[in-house]
Amino acid sequence: MESLVIDTHFWQEKSVLITGHTGFKGSWLSLWLTELGAKVSGYALAPNTQPSMYQAIELETIVDSVTADISNLARLSEVMQQTQPEVVFHLAAQSLVKPSYLDPVGTYQINVMGTVNVLEAVRHCPSVKAVVVVTSDKCYENHEWSWPYRENDRLGGHDPYSNSKSCAELVTDSYRKSFFADNETAVATARAGNVIGGGDWSDYRLLPDLIRATQTTQALEIRHPAAIRPWQHVLESLSGYLQLAQKLFERGDEVAEAWNFGPVQDDIKPVHYLVEQAQKKWSNFEWYSPSQNEHHEANILMLDCSKARQKLGWQPIWRIDEALSKTFDWYDAFYSGNNMREFSLQQIQQFVQATKRYSITA
């Protein structure tokens, strides 16, 4: 098996463009890449939450940040020509199920046409050698069955968000076959599990809702306490994206396809498990489940990540309880007034050290 350790030498002085860098995952990825020595540029709207990870770590001071809409192809193309990236990570998205019901048109515009715009801009930018398009584990046609989805399972999506991510997969596949098959740009998609970690304040997402509940006396509504999800720390999925991007750069079409990044099967837990772990740490909040839910959400979702383990050398490192502990520690540090860039870098270093230990013993 290949080493799990992120290759610092590879990323030194690499020019990288990240769309959606002001979001939760994008901010963590930007911070990690700058620490690896990459020259990072970001293209995104301003953070849509207050607080935000982007502001908490003062990312604007270390990343060349452009505030613009992913729907603006002309501006995106201009920025790509100016920055001449070698690697592109496309994370800009409307990333939540419930808002997709409230604004389906906007969700499709951002998630589908935004992906078209990124790939179109890449098509006219010869400097780009590797592109990772981040979609979602929800891109699969969910049959509510009890075994995990593989990359070659059928795409689908009941709600507009999930369906838009399936569409983004199809768009990427079409561009790969139509425009990137015979050139030096390799394009892949990444389907991660339900990501948790410090710095997420999104509405309608479990951990941010739990954290907000600890700051108030209001009971927390848990829409689907029995729903089963592939939970993982944000650094798990990002390590997969980084390893995939390097393999795309080095191997090209050999790895230009879809990839799952999720937890081990024992860490695929129901929502109420996370709520109970939070109650063990903070006993000052209550929760309830509504008698009925307004919108459909999948009851069970699992990922088969054997391909990433076998072909990329990627492996989950932090088990669910450790991932939750790191997440809770981050928010404790934030609300205690710590320097959150330093604290976040410490967590990245802890994760990297864990990957080194695993690589030695595996």
* pLDDT tens profile 216-254: 777 888 878 888 889 999 999 999 999 999 999 999 999
What pLDDT is recorded for position 224? Answer: 82
Whether 243 contacts 309, CB under 8 Å? no
Q: Residue 334 is inside which H or E element, if any?
A: helix 320-335
Which pLDDT tens digit goes with each residue over 179-192? 998 789 999 999 99
Catalytic residue numbers read 161
pLDDT for 362 beyond 50:
no
SS3 284: coil
Closest Cα to residue 82, out of 71, 100, 66?
A: 66
Identify the sign of the CA torsion 162, 98, 131, 177.
positive
Whether 234 contacts 32, CB under 8 Å? no
Q: pTM of the full predicted structure?
A: 0.94
Q: Could you give the domains of the chain?
A: 9-361 (3.40.50.720)
Residue at 37: amino acid letter:
G
- C-alpha to C-alpha distance for 124 and 112, rounded to whole angstroms: 19
Average pLDDT, the chain: 92
Which pLDDT tens digit goes with each residue over 12-22? 999 999 999 99
User: Which two three-digit tokens encode residue 219?
Assistant: 């009971």
Strands 258-261 and 64-67: unpaired
pLDDT for 5 beyond 80:
no
pLDDT for 77 beyond 60:
yes
C-alpha distance across the termini of the chain, in Å? 8
Which pLDDT tens digit goes with each residue over 32-71? 999 999 999 999 999 999 999 999 999 999 999 999 999 9
Residue 252, sorted as left (phi over 0), alpha (psi -120 to 50) or beta, turns out to be left
Whether 63 contacts 42, CB under 8 Å? yes
The angle formed by the CA atoms of residues 104, 196 and 138, to the nearest 5 degrees, is 40
- The residue-averaged pLDDT of 283-303 equals 74
What dihedral angle (degrees, nearest 10) is formed by the CA atoms of 60, 61, 63, 68?
30
pLDDT for 297 beyond 70:
no
